[in-house]
Amino acid sequence: MKTLGENIKVLKHIYQNNDDIVFQQLSILNEQAYLIYISDLVNQESLDEIEKNIHHYLANNTNYHSPSKIISTLFPWVKVEDTDLLEQASYKILSGYSLLLIDGIKKFYIFNTKNKIGRNITEPTTERTARGPKEGFIEDIDQNLNLIRKKIKSPSLKVENLILGEKTKTNLSIVYMNGIANKDIVDEVKKRLSKIKIDGILESHYIQSMIKDSPKSPFPTVLSTERPDRVCGQLLDGKVAILIDGTPFALLVPVMFVEFFHSSDDYYDSSLVATIVRWVRFLGLFVTLILPAFYVALTSFHQDLLQTPFLIRIAASREALPYPVMIEAISC
């Protein structure tokens, strides 16, 4: 077992040349201790509260003869890890946590002292709706999970966390409905995510490009959204959601081509209205794809199908144009 001094030496080596990391010395029942944190990432009030509680307890109680019992009594919610895992867990300091190491104890304590930064929950900017909730995901994965939990209050809603990115150590959450989502799909999502080896993940597209079925295909096979209500609706339909810390966009898999024609407003209209609107979208796709091709084929290759007066008018209107019909259709 390493001594306190050896553990502190290891941490100082890991975080050398970082002036914002603090190694604060404490004394608990005459035992030397260190509270380690990064000053820019922690909530100073939380740190002061920890120290205040310890000093107040020591001043008013003489029953405890072990620092570990004092910590477990004052902070029963604190996470405890073995010092053998210190190097692996030290990255938590970079997420705003504080580590407490006490001399003679082969455990260390992890305090959640994160300073909440970032924007508040606001209306989604890319998927506005006439009806429905006016709240969207933000860059904090914990808040995003809260938004989903608020709508689906069921023990069947499962959340599995993992960390990706050799340098960024980005938190990800796989969210699905147990009993509704296909277990094979859930396992496939975990398998594909586990294969990702990358230095950093800064946005959801990093994940999207690495787990989709055909990486070279121009057509998306993963749906992204910043609306919690849409994610919840898809979860209840058996989809699997992937939430990434640092981005307001959640990923949904698997997805079919027709689902890109669905809108969040469809969840708040009657079935008849939603069906009609969806058919109008498909009609728009059909017209967009077929009508230009039909026009090019008719005017360039099958002029005999047109009446002579109409054909003469088309030829006259195109007399001063420098490009053929096909180039014109493509450019439009």
Nearest to 241 by CA among 216, 204, 272, 202: 204
pLDDT digits (tens, 9 = 90+) for 73-86: 778 777 777 666 77
Structure tokens, 55? 């000093």
Alpha carbon distance, N-terminus to C-terminus of the chain? 72
State how far the Cα of 78 lies from the Cα of 13, in Å rounded to an integer. 26
Element holding 88 (H helix, E strand): helix 86-89
State how far the Cα of 18 lies from the Cα of 23, in Å rounded to an integer. 11
Cα 141 from chain centroid (whole Å): 6
Maximal CA-CA distance, the chain: 108
State how far the Cα of 295 lies from the Cα of 248, in Å rounded to an integer. 42
Nearest to 185 by CA among 247, 220, 248, 234: 234
The pLDDT tens digits along the chain (332 residues) read 678 888 888 888 888 888 889 898 888 877 888 889 998 888 888 888 888 888 877 777 666 667 777 787 778 777 777 666 777 677 788 888 888 888 888 888 888 888 877 788 888 888 888 777 889 999 999 999 999 999 999 999 999 999 999 888 899 999 999 999 999 999 999 999 999 999 999 989 899 888 988 777 777 889 999 999 999 999 999 999 999 999 999 999 998 888 888 887 887 888 888 889 889 998 998 888 888 888 888 877 887 777 788 777 877 777 777 777 777 777 66
